Structures are given as C-alpha cells and as structure tokens.
C-alpha cells in the first residue's frame, strides 16, 4: 500500500504485525500446547514461513514507498494513513467481536438457560439475523449524520450493549436476553457498515487495498477475542 510520509510508512509496518500475529496465534492454538492438531515441528515451520513472508511484505512496502524517504509526496497525492489504522481498529472491535460472539453465543444460551443446542442455536442466530438491516442501516446513518459522529455513537452503543450482555444470567427472562443480544448486534453490525462507508473517502485510488486491510482486521479481532475467551475459561476451570 502506498503511503504519504515516513511516519505513515512505519505505522503501516506496525499495522501489518497483528495480522501475522493472528496467524501465528492460530498455529499455536493448533499446536500440542493447544488442541494438538499440529505437531510442534510443523508449527515451527509455520512460524518461520510467517516470519519470512512478513519480512518480504515489509520489503515490498519499502520498495513501493522508498521515494518518500528522499522527496515529499505531492500534496494532491497525500492522505493520512492513521485514518486507515482507525478503521482497522474499529473493524477489529465490530466484525471481530461479531465473529467471536456468533461462535460462542449458542453455547452460552444452552449453558445459562439449560436449552437444547438446536433451540439455543436458533435463538443465537437472531444476533446474526440483524445483519439484514444493521449493516445497510449503519451506512445510511453515516450518510445521513456524518462519518465521525456515526462511528462514535455506534462504538459507544457497542460497548454499552456488550456491557449489558455481560449481565445476562439464568435469572433473566429468555425473551429479554434474546432482545438484548439483538439490540447489541444492531450497534455492532451498524458499526461495520459505517466503517466501510468511510473506506472510499480516504484515497479513492487505493480503495480496494484499504478495504482489504480493514476487512482482514475483522478476522484478527475474532482470533484475539476467542483466544482471550479460551484463556479465561481455562483459568476458571483451574479455579
């Protein structure tokens, strides 16, 4: 990806690291230290390959952008890479958390409310069902009320929604728990739509690359959140 300054170049390199770290983390979870699907030797090979690809990726970024180290970029070609970094972090929080919640919510409903897994899965699907209106709704809100204000409001709603979901226990009526999950999912998925409403406005010529990097951070977030969940569950089991 082309950048406009030396500072942006180093920020680009930093923002590449979590993507490779997520792949390394997946390998570790499949290693003997995790579920044991991969041997230790295979994991070491994967780590070496990821390191090599990361080094080559950084070299390619330098090759494309080496001119910025000797001469300033013309004003009409400049953009601030920190805008891309912010979108990456927001998609990490929105789509990353959605992927994580969708994968664990059926088990949560089954455990908390003593439901059959089929019923729990159907109820949990209401969280993902909200995508039909939430994502386009987030884009519409962004067009209607402005990019920055919409992202701030939806991110605050996401945080409040997850805080409320954290309070769900067996004393809650099941209907209220499902409604709470659906309300939270509106902010999560509308946030995803609002993020991609901003992507084409940063640098039109690089829209595809910016969208690709932003989208990748959703998967980084899912790996991170589910890893944290597995570690917390393991500590609770030991306790």
Name the domain boundary from 78, 109, 128. Answer: 78
* In the predicted structure, residue 239 carries a pLDDT above the cut 80: no
Same domain for 171 and 116, yes or no, is yes
Compute CA distances 127 → 97, 102, 175, whole Å. Answer: 12, 7, 13
pLDDT class of 79 with cuts at 50, 70, 90? very high
* Tokens 């770290």 -> residue: 21
- What does the pLDDT look like over 138-147, one tens digit per residue? 999 999 999 8
Same domain for 58 and 108, yes or no, is no
Tell me what pLDDT residue 237 has.
Answer: 47
Q: First and final CA of the chain: distance in angstroms?
A: 47
Q: Domain range holding 71?
A: 1-78
pTM over 0.85: yes
Tell me what pLDDT residue 206 has.
Answer: 92
Same domain for 74 and 119, yes or no, is no
Same domain for 153 and 61, yes or no, is no
Tell me what pLDDT residue 77 has.
Answer: 86
Same domain for 34 and 90, yes or no, is no
pLDDT average, residue stretch 97-108:
91
Name the domain boundary from 45, 78, 111. Answer: 78
- What does the pLDDT look like over 14-69, one tens digit per residue? 999 999 999 999 898 888 887 788 898 999 999 999 999 999 999 999 999 999 99
Same domain for 36 and 146, yes or no, is no
Q: Which residues of 83-97 are buried (b: 16+ CB within 10 A; e: fewer)?
A: ebbbbbbbbbbbbbb
Who contacts 158 (Cβ-Cβ below 8 Å, separation ≥6)? 93, 94, 97, 184, 187, 188, 191
Same domain for 21 and 104, yes or no, is no
Same domain for 62 and 94, yes or no, is no
Name the domain boundary from 15, 48, 78. Answer: 78
pLDDT class of 126 with cuts at 50, 70, 90? confident
pLDDT class of 238 with cuts at 50, 70, 90? very low
What's the number of domains the chain is made of? 2
Q: How far apart are CA 199 and CA 171, in angstroms?
A: 43
pLDDT average, residue stretch 75-101:
93
Same domain for 159 and 50, yes or no, is no
Who contacts 215 (Cβ-Cβ below 8 Å, separation ≥6)? 91, 95
Same domain for 187 and 221, yes or no, is yes
Tell me what pLDDT residue 187 has.
Answer: 95
- What does the pLDDT look like over 149-186, one tens digit per residue? 999 999 999 999 999 999 999 999 999 999 999 999 99
Q: How far apart are CA 196 and CA 166, in angstroms?
A: 28
CATH number at residue 220: 1.20.1250.20
- What does the pLDDT look like over 200-236, one tens digit per residue? 999 989 999 999 999 999 999 999 998 888 877 655 5
């Amino acid at each position: 990806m082309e950048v406009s300054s030396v500072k942006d170049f180093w920020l680009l390199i930093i923002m590449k690291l979590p993507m490779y770290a997520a792949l390394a983390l997946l390998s570790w979870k499949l290693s003997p230290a995790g579920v044991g699907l991969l041997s230790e030797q295979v994991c070491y090979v994967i780590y070496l390959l990821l390191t090599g690809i990361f080094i080559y990726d950084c070299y390619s970024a330098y090759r494309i952008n080496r001119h910025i180290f000797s001469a300033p970029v013309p004003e009409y070609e400049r953009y601030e890479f920190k805008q891309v970094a912010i979108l990456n972090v927001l998609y990490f929080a929105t789509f990353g958390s959605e992927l994580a919640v969708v994968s664990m919510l059926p088990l949560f409903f089954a455990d908390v409310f003593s439901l059959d897994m089929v019923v729990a899965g159907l109820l949990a699907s209401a969280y993902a069902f909200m995508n039909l209106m939430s994502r386009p709704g987030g884009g519409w809100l962004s067009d209607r009320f402005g990019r920055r204000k919409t992202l701030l409001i939806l991110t605050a709603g996401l945080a409040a929604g997850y805080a409320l979901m954290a309070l769900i226990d067996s004393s809650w009526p099941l209907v209220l728990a499902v409604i709470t999950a659906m309300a939270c999912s509106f902010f999560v998925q509308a946030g995803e739509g609002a993020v991609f409403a901003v992507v084409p406005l940063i640098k039109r010529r690089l829209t595809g690359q910016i969208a690709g990097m932003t989208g990748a951070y959703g998967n980084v977030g899912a790996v991170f959140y589910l890893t944290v969940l597995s570690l917390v569950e393991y500590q609770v089991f030991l306790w």
